[in-house]
């Protein structure tokens, strides 16, 4: 059985990923940043999120 805390954590991570996507699109449209820079930013943020949430889920 899945606890409510794990479900809330997964939903929070999904929401953060969506917000990072919106931020990346906004950066690309408004400031004309390179896709490589945006990809590096997304990769770094997702790595941080995964490193912080996986131990909490286990």
Q: pLDDT of 4-57, one tens digit each?
A: 777 887 888 788 888 877 887 887 788 777 778 777 877 887 788 778 777 776
Is residue 20 within 8 Å of residue 45, measured between CB atoms?
yes
Judge contact between 33 and 27, C-beta under 8 A. yes
* Confidence label for 2 from pLDDT (cuts 50, 70 and 90): low
How many domains does the chain divide into?
1
User: What pLDDT is stored for residue 1 in this prediction?
Assistant: 60
pTM over 0.85: no
Q: How much is the pLDDT for 28?
A: 77
pLDDT value, residue 41: 78
Give 3-11 contacts, CB < 8 A, sequence gap 24+. Answer: 6/57, 9/53, 9/56, 9/57, 10/57
Question: Domain of 15?
Answer: 4-57
């Amino acid at each position: 059985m899945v606890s409510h805390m794990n479900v809330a954590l997964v939903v929070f991570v999904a929401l953060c990923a969506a917000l990072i996507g919106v931020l990346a699109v906004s950066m690309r449209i408004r400031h004309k940043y390179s896709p490589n820079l945006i990809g590096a930013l997304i990769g770094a943020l997702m790595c941080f999120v995964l490193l912080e949430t996986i131990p909490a889920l286990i």
